[in-house]
Amino acid sequence: MKKSILKTFLVSCFLVLTACGGGGPEIATINFLESMYSGDFETAKQYATTDTKSMLTMLESFGAKDQFADKMKESEMEFEVIETKIDGDTAVCKVKMSSSEDEKDQDMPISLVKKDGEWLVDMNKESMNKEGMNDLDKETGNPDTDYDDEDYEDEDDYEEDDVE
């Protein structure tokens, strides 16, 4: 009787610990993206590195939080991890983004790092530009930060003009 109680207790503890462990990079990626695109940046920050948290704070200051939420509602955005490559404490999840609109599906790489046993999304400006998120800068509603594609002929012009 004692052995079965102990066995049940150990199995229960194992299940609780694995459920609270945050899961693999795929779970962190999906939780991050769903939180971010629903406008819940505070929850998204739970799945983010310090640098990514700073980037989210910056996006919030430009009004991007509402844009993400509006885009998610309009397009019924869905995310699916279609490939994961893990190399030690780093990983890249390839995410298929699809929507109910006529837009074509997009594949987007999401970089992650493992810190203290948890997978965290690690985004920087370069990776966001590669992932197609740089369009947010164009339509923030803030005339100081909004621009048209014609304003910058290439990425080098963008960086030079932004450095003051």
Higher pLDDT, 9 or 100: 100
Question: Count of domains in the chain?
Answer: 1
- Check residue 62 and give its pLDDT: 85
Write the pLDDT tens digit of every residue in 115-155. 999 999 998 666 555 554 444 344 434 444 444 444 444 44
Residue 50 domain-assigned (yes or no):
yes
Domain assignment present for 13: no
Q: What is the CATH number of the domain that holds 70?
A: 3.10.450.50
pLDDT, position 76: 78
Question: Long-range contacts made by residues 140-145, C-beta under 8 angstroms, separation at least 24?
Answer: 140/62, 140/63, 140/64, 140/67, 141/63, 142/62, 142/63, 145/62
Q: 55 vs 65, which has greater pLDDT?
A: 55
The verdict on residue 36 lying in a domain is yes
Please give the angle made by the CA atoms of 36, 99 and 122, to the nearest 5 degrees. Answer: 30
How high is the pLDDT of residue 105? 85
| pLDDT at residue 1, as a whole number | 54
Residue 142 lies in a domain: no
The domain of 79 spans: 25-134
In tens, the pLDDT along 95-122 reads: 998 887 767 788 999 999 999 999 999 9
**What whole-number distance in Å separates Cα of residue 85 and Cα of residue 90?**
8
Does residue 3 form part of some domain? no
- Per the domain annotation, does 140 fall within a domain? no
For the stretch 90-110, what's the b/e string if a residue is b when 16 or more beta carbons lie within 10 angstroms of its beta carbon?
ebbbebebebeeeeeeeebeb
pLDDT at 141: 44
On whether residue 12 sits in a domain, the answer given is: no
Structural domain includes residue 156: no
